[in-house]
Each structure stands twice: as C-alpha cells, then as structure tokens.
Amino acid sequence: MSRSPSPNAQVNVVTGAFGYTGKYIARRLLAQGQQVRTLTGHPQHDSSLSDQVEVHPFNFDNPSALTESLRGASTLYNTYWVRFRRGRVTFDRAVANTQTLIQAAREAGVGRIVQISITNPSDDSPLPYFRGKGVVEKYLVESGIPYAIVRPTVVFGVEDILLNNIA
C-alpha cells in the first residue's frame, strides 16, 4: 500500500519502474512514503503506479536532459539492461547507455547508485550479457559514486514466466 510522500521524503530514481523488477522496487519505496521518479523507454505506460511516479524518458542520446532528470535524487536504482541482442539493440549499446547514465548521475550529484547486476559478471566473460555487466560494474566502482551492487541469479515472482513454466 502506498502512502503520501512525507514533506522531507527523499527522491529516488528507479529505471523501469513499470517493468518487472523495477515495479517492486518502486512499490516498496512508495510504501515507505518516499518519492519515486522513473526513467523508461515507455513513458506512456499504463500502470497502477503511473499517477504516483514522475516519469521521464531515458534520454541516453541527450545527456544534459538525462542529468536534469536525475537531479536531486538521493538514490538511483538501476535495472536498465537488455535481455538479448536484437537489431540495433546490442549489449555494447546497453553498456554505453549505462555508462552514460552513471556519468549523468555523477553530474547530477546523485548520492548513491544501486546497480542490479547478475551473478558471475566478468569483463572477460565470453558471454556478452555477463561481460557487459562486468564492464558496467567496473565503471560504477571507478566512478567515485557510493554504490551497492545486487547480483541475482534469477528474479522470480507471480508474473514470472521462466520459473512458473518450469513449476
């Protein structure tokens, strides 16, 4: 259940607050009375959270707009990634976009980044998903911004397809 933000509520940015993992992070923050802003590729998304969350596009190609959308945030929860390569969407592009996001967060003075990574990331992995996550982790660690890195093996829930199909 959401509460109205308290007068001194902190602003949190959650990428993909209407997505799979992001919506649980956003709901939890809202339930604590925190303010939530999201960056998303689907700003018009029809979600039960739409009226409680301030929405901005990703703006990876417009770093100054991206920086403004992060300004004032105490924490950035970054779920942004791509699941597989498709057309112009590549892991190299996801790495570059995430680096742009981290750089914008630094310029905006974001207090901390919580990076949702993956188990066993490595910048010399032969697997592009895991290699990209390793490169991004290193970039974050070297950015100077306080951070926490979460490395789930798999994220599951009631609407999860993979584990529910297996079950």
- Of the pair 33, 45, the CB lying nearest ligand NAP is at 45
The answer to whether residue 109 forms part of the interface with ligand NAP (CB under 6 A) is no
The answer to whether residue 79 forms part of the interface with ligand NAP (CB under 6 A) is yes
Q: Lay out the site mask for ligand NAP across 110-129 (x = CB under 6 A, - = otherwise).
A: ------x-x-----------
Token pair of 76 as six digits: 């950035």
Q: Which of residues 17-76 bind ligand NAP (CB under 6 A)?
A: 19-22, 40-42
Which residue in 127, 145, 149, 155 binds ligand NAP (CB under 6 A)? 155
Question: How is residue 53 annotated by DSSP?
Answer: E
Cβ atoms within 10 Å of 58's Cβ, excluding its own: 21
- Of the pair 6, 54, the CB lying nearest ligand NAP is at 54
Q: Which amino acid is at 67?
A: T
- Of the pair 67, 117, the CB lying nearest ligand NAP is at 117
Q: Is 108 within 8 Å of 73 (Cβ atoms)?
A: yes
The answer to whether residue 139 forms part of the interface with ligand NAP (CB under 6 A) is no
* End-to-end Cα spacing for the chain: 29
Q: Please give the Cα distance from 161 to 2 (Å, whole number).
A: 27
The answer to whether residue 15 forms part of the interface with ligand NAP (CB under 6 A) is yes
Contacts of 126 (CB under 8 A, 6+ apart): none
Q: Residue 89 forms beta bridges with which residues?
A: 86
Binding site for ligand NAP (CB under 6 A): 15-16, 19-22, 40-42, 79-83, 89, 116, 118, 152, 154-155
